[in-house]
Amino acid sequence: MVFDTILKYLEGNSIVGLIVLIFLSFYFMIVFGVFLYRYFYLSAWISREKKSLRSLFKDSKISETSVLNRCKSNKGYLSKEVLEACKSAAVREATIGLTILSIIASTAPFIGLFGTVIGILEAFAEFANETRVSLNIIAPVISEALVATAAGIFVAIPAYSFHLTLKRKSYELFTYLQNQIDIIISQQEVK
């Protein structure tokens, strides 16, 4: 029943409306793909950095799994500048995907609105030859055109929410890295 309603809607839709809905469908898949991949990737990375922070407290050693371990020189010494550069590289890597989500969150409603405007213009063009048009005829056409705006908003809300979630995860990772850097530098100053 729902499938029949969707097919009926798609058959009555214009080519521009279909293109808008297909485009928003791709946006929707990209949003969830980016979010799921980055969320689990960042969660695993945060877990490793959390363990490394505990290891620093416990053994005064950087964990082998920490991203900061890659920055060590041959002598095992880490300067503040090298650690900061390493942290900057890690933050850049952690925030990959945020731009895509923010672009989709900000453009999806406008793409949906574009589909609605085209749908309304086409509806008025059809009614131009009619001498009398009532609300009973206009209302269904306008409501069908508004589906594109609803689809745009439907895509934008998770994109924005996921953007904020990943931004928070990136900040959490940044905090663990900064804590480790502070401990490493303070340990080196003591020696």
pLDDT, one tens digit per residue, over 63-109 is 888 888 887 765 566 788 888 889 999 999 999 999 999 999 999 99
Are 117 and 125 contacting, i.e. CB atoms less than 8 angstroms apart?
no
pLDDT at residue 91, as a whole number? 92
Are 110 and 156 contacting, i.e. CB atoms less than 8 angstroms apart?
no
Contacts of 176 (CB under 8 A, 6+ apart): 46, 49, 50, 52, 53
Average pLDDT over residues 15-38: 92
How many other C-beta atoms lie within 10 A of the C-beta of residue 47? 12
- Per-residue pLDDT for 2 more than 60? no
Question: By mean pLDDT, which of 24-28, 82-86, 126-130, 170-174 is the weakest?
Answer: 126-130
Residue with tokens 């297909």: 22
171 pLDDT tier (thresholds 50, 70, 90): very high
158 pLDDT tier (thresholds 50, 70, 90): very high
pLDDT at residue 14, as a whole number? 75
Helix 135-190 / helix 15-59 crossing angle, nearest 10 deg: 20
pLDDT at residue 24, as a whole number? 94
7 pLDDT tier (thresholds 50, 70, 90): low
Which DSSP string do the residues of 2-70 spell out, in sequence order? Answer: HHHHHHHHHHHS-HHHHHHHHHHHHHHHHHHHHHHHHHHHHHHHHHHHHHHHHHHHHHS---TTSGGGG
